[in-house]
Amino acid sequence: MHVSDLDRYRQLRRELHRYPEPAWCEFYTTARIVEVLEERDPDALHVGREVLVSDRRTGVPEETTLDEWADRAREAGADESVLERTEGGHTGCIAVFECGDGPVVGLRVDIDGLPVTESESEDHEPAAEGFRSRNEGYMHACGHDGHMTIGIGVIDAILEGEFDGTLVACFQPSEEKIAGGEPMAESGHLDDVEYLFALHLGLDHPSGEIVSGIDEFLAIRRLQADFEGEPAHAGASPQQGHNAVQAMATAVQNLYAIPRHADGKTRVNAGVVGGGTATNVIPKEAFLEGEVRGSTTALADYMFEKAEHVITNAADMHSCDVSIESTGDAPSATSDEELAAIVGEVARTVDGVDTIRDFDELGGSEDATFLMQHVQDRGGLACYACVGTDHPGGHHSATFDLVEDDLRIGIEVLSGAIEQVGRDGVSPSGV
């Protein structure tokens, strides 16, 4: 890659870094990506409402919040026509490049930022170099600015290279809420994809290391439980209360005590809780935001059903009502060995790569699994690769950052793998 090219990608990454937007509010980001894509003259460019099954979206913010972010995007210079196409929290886009008769290959990157206030320390490069977040309180603290940049870089490499096939480049919104994967997977645009690549930067792997395929994502399901009881004066008539905090606390205790399952890993967490208004009032309301996971989708479902059962009975025990809302989920998935092998093979030839790990567990969850499963269910293959990068702060921390030269590595590994798949498919010899 030319130095001038790398400079261009660095520039793009920094520009995107300046405008982090939370899930379903990536209005500026989508507009900017659409602008860059249009410069590449795609054979098709689907935007916003066209790339999502609208009612499969979960966790979409209130309209006033959406409007605020749209206004910010407008002020930052977002194209009005894109704002129209993404109205109501329909963000993201998919570009299609037809480069020959070979297979249809997908690439998926994610585009949303996080509600994290970015560090102002001089040790933090974005602050020192002047590309710190301009959306105060929000930050690209998980590298999605880098993912998008790699996505554009891969398109450039494919267009300049000798790829024989069709590239479907997906810029997916709302990964942090594990909410964007399903509506995009079901949009129809991935129905013909035969090979799908997804990627992540970092994940505690240092610069120079490539994980050719993530072995196991935990399936995940999130929930929000809202308990409603009866308030009462805690001194004068405690027996008239239906104590929502007591119900919630009983639920918490018993959630963690859901039986372990012999079939594999399970997880449960009551991550955010609260309730009550004053010390002298029997609490009328309480809430619990939690999640369960499993090493298979069935295990996550087992945990979710148990969790619902526990919460429902805890509420009833204390004569409270409870509503339980499912607030996002993602299935488990595994990278196919055949594609991972190709990633590994290509990576070996890329300058700056010194270590290749064949497979690795993530221990976390990702909604790329919806897209992977969609492709795998139709007989295709999928692979989720990790491009190592030294990151000073951890993922989701105020000092997260990445090594910009590793963007090049990501572009070369992914575009190389896509080209090879286009050339040879996944023949036995390819493995």
* Alpha-carbon 320 to chain mean position: 35
Specify the stretch interacting with a copy of itself by CB under 8 A; choose among 37-45, 68-76, 83-91, 362-370. 362-370
Position 431 contacts a copy of itself (CB under 8 A): no
Position 283 contacts a copy of itself (CB under 8 A): yes
Residue 357, both tokens: 């790990």
Provide long-range contacts, Cβ within 8 A and 24+ apart, for 404-408: 404/6, 404/9, 404/10, 404/13, 405/6, 405/207, 405/352, 406/146, 406/201, 406/207, 406/352, 407/6, 407/9, 407/10, 407/13, 407/146, 407/149, 407/150, 407/153, 408/1, 408/6, 408/9, 408/153, 408/352
In whole angstroms, the minimum distance from the beta carbon of 275 to a copy of itself comes to: 6
Position 281 contacts a copy of itself (CB under 8 A): yes
Q: What is the spatial distance between Cα 355 and Cα 361, in angstroms, rounded to a whole number?
A: 17
Query: Max CA-CA distance within the chain?
Result: 80
Beta carbons within 10 angstroms of residue 252's beta carbon: 17
Out of 245, 307, 402, 413, the only residue in the binding site for a copy of itself (CB under 8 A) is: 245
Out of 36, 282, 307, 324, the only residue in the binding site for a copy of itself (CB under 8 A) is: 282
Q: What is the spatial distance between Cα 339 and Cα 198, in angstroms, rounded to a whole number?
A: 11
Q: Would you state the torsion angle of the CA atoms of residues 13, 170, 336, 99, taken in this order, to the nearest 10 degrees?
A: -100
Position 289 contacts a copy of itself (CB under 8 A): yes
In whole angstroms, the minimum distance from the beta carbon of 431 to a copy of itself comes to: 24
Out of 239, 377, 427, 428, the only residue in the binding site for a copy of itself (CB under 8 A) is: 239
Specify the stretch interacting with a copy of itself by CB under 8 A; choose among 105-113, 118-126, 339-347, 359-367. 359-367
Q: What is the spatial distance between Cα 385 and Cα 359, in angstroms, rounded to a whole number?
A: 9
Specify the stretch interacting with a copy of itself by CB under 8 A; choose among 76-84, 103-111, 243-251, 350-358. 243-251
Specify the stretch interacting with a copy of itself by CB under 8 A; choose among 97-105, 130-138, 287-295, 420-428. 287-295
* Residues contacting residue 3 through CB under 8 Å, at least 6 positions apart: none
Position 316 contacts a copy of itself (CB under 8 A): yes
Q: What is the spatial distance between Cα 101 and Cα 156, in angstroms, rounded to a whole number?
A: 19
Position 332 contacts a copy of itself (CB under 8 A): no
Position 305 contacts a copy of itself (CB under 8 A): no
* Residues contacting residue 283 through CB under 8 Å, at least 6 positions apart: 229, 231, 241, 243, 244, 245, 246, 275, 276, 277
Specify the stretch interacting with a copy of itself by CB under 8 A; choose among 94-102, 157-165, 230-238, 415-423. 230-238
Position 365 contacts a copy of itself (CB under 8 A): yes
In whole angstroms, the minimum distance from the beta carbon of 237 to a copy of itself comes to: 5
Q: Output 24 or 27, the one with its CB closest to a copy of itself.
A: 24
In whole angstroms, the minimum distance from the beta carbon of 234 to a copy of itself comes to: 4
Q: Output 35 or 256, the one with its CB closest to a copy of itself.
A: 256
Residue 164, both tokens: 């024989």
Out of 269, 326, 349, 355, the only residue in the binding site for a copy of itself (CB under 8 A) is: 269
Q: Based on the number of CB atoms within 10 Å of its own CB, is 264 exposed (0-12), middle (13-18) or buried (19 or more)? A: middle
Specify the stretch interacting with a copy of itself by CB under 8 A; choose among 7-15, 39-47, 103-111, 286-294. 286-294
Q: Output 153 or 202, the one with its CB closest to a copy of itself.
A: 202
Position 249 contacts a copy of itself (CB under 8 A): yes
Q: What is the spatial distance between Cα 370 and Cα 201, in angstroms, rounded to a whole number?
A: 19
Beta carbons within 10 angstroms of residue 260's beta carbon: 8
* Residues contacting residue 249 through CB under 8 Å, at least 6 positions apart: none
Decide: 364 and 176 in contact? Cβ < 8 Å. Answer: no
Out of 50, 362, 424, 430, the only residue in the binding site for a copy of itself (CB under 8 A) is: 362
Q: Output 192 or 289, the one with its CB closest to a copy of itself.
A: 289
In whole angstroms, the minimum distance from the beta carbon of 97 to a copy of itself comes to: 35
Specify the stretch interacting with a copy of itself by CB under 8 A; choose among 52-60, 119-127, 187-195, 278-286. 278-286
Contact positions vs a copy of itself (CB under 8 A): 218, 220, 222, 233-239, 241, 243, 245-246, 248-250, 252-254, 256-257, 259-263, 265-283, 286, 289-291, 293, 302, 309-310, 313-314, 316-319, 362-365
